[in-house]
Amino acid sequence: MANITWMVSHTGWSDFILMGLFRQSKHPALLCVVIFVVFLMALSENAFLILLIHCDAHLHTPMYFFISQLSLMDMVYISVTVPKMLLDQVMGVNKISAPECGMQMFLYLTLAGSEFFLLAAMAYDRYMAICHPLRYPVLMHRRACLFLASGCWFLGSVDGFTFTAITMTLPFCRSQEIHHFFCEVPAVLNLSCSDTSLYEIFIYLCCVLMLLIPVTIISSSYLLILLTIHRMNSAEGRKKAFATCSSHLTVVILFYGAAIYTYMLPSSYHTPEKDMMVSVFYTILTPVLNPLIYSLRNKDVMGALKKMLTVRFVL
């Protein structure tokens, strides 16, 4: 009877209960402070990197345009989940309505999907810059970069709309409790009382497709880049090419590794605790690490930073 009541109440937009991250911790207040600090760091680092790229004319290149897009995605990405989680902890509330849950799911899926394709676009940009340096300014002009970035956002939104629309129209009658700190698809699917095996196969195939296309582009680009670097006579040119590509590959491995675990491994490998830890990594830690990876190992960014600080110090 309780199950029937919950199903009926859900169709009337009842609330879900987010079990959250803090219930797993012995020191929830300390964890809340740490996550808040990490959140502020992510916002400030990415905002500063976007500002730096915008203000310095030497950074007005396709590579840094894509990096600024990545920083924008990371800022929005972490803002979709963390403020709600922190506010719930402070206010002692852990409910989220079905429309809010659907909106949160749509936004994080859109941003994650967009980032998948953006990382592929960045690999293609590096391929053009290193393998075809003479044709690079002609092929990777501003309009082409805007087209690629818009395509990444569009494909991400298609992914978000498709998965959210199907997930949120399923009948839920097992429980209201989402064993997660935000409305992630696998966690919400566990509440459905219908057979979701067909939908899970659909998710798996979509993820394979969404990962296969970018991974193919990235792998092909870096294979050709490695062949080109091998033929380079200049040691300085090799060093610069390796430095640029290693930063991007680091981000690719971090982001794609977490996505493969979440959406492609069989359910037998998953537990709520493991899923939350992996989600913490790619929703909270990755947005903090990305600007550091692209700035600390990048002479152009560090040079622009020193220049900005010197000008401000003189003024």
Q: How far is Cα 307 from Cα 164, in angstroms, rounded to an integer?
A: 45
Domain spans in the chain, listed from the N-terminal domain onward = 26-306
Q: How far is Cα 268 from Cα 166, in angstroms, rounded to an integer?
A: 23
Contact at 8 Å (CB) between 190 and 108? Answer: no
Which DSSP category does 180 fall into?
A: S
Residue type, 66: F
Q: How far is Cα 264 from Cα 268, in angstroms, rounded to an integer?
A: 11
Please return the burial class of 152, using the count of CB atoms within 10 Å of its CB with bins 0-12, 13-18 and 19+.
buried
Q: How far is Cα 253 from Cα 105, in angstroms, rounded to an integer?
A: 23
Contact at 8 Å (CB) between 125 and 144? Answer: no
Integer CA distances (angstroms), 22 to 27, 104, 262, 271, in order: 8, 19, 20, 16
Contact at 8 Å (CB) between 70 and 115? Answer: yes
The model's pTM is 0.86
Q: How far is Cα 123 from Cα 131, in angstroms, rounded to an integer?
A: 12
Q: What is the pLDDT along the chain (315 residues), one digit of tens a residue?
A: 444 344 444 444 578 888 888 877 788 889 899 999 999 999 999 999 999 999 888 889 999 999 999 999 999 999 999 999 999 888 888 889 989 999 999 999 999 999 989 999 999 999 998 888 889 999 899 999 999 999 999 999 998 999 999 888 888 876 788 888 899 888 888 888 888 888 888 887 887 788 888 888 988 988 888 888 878 776 666 676 676 677 778 888 877 777 777 767 766 667 777 778 888 888 888 899 888 888 766 777 877 777 777 765 555
For 26-306, the fitting CATH number among 1.20.1070.10, 2.40.50.140, 3.30.930.10, 3.30.460.80 is 1.20.1070.10
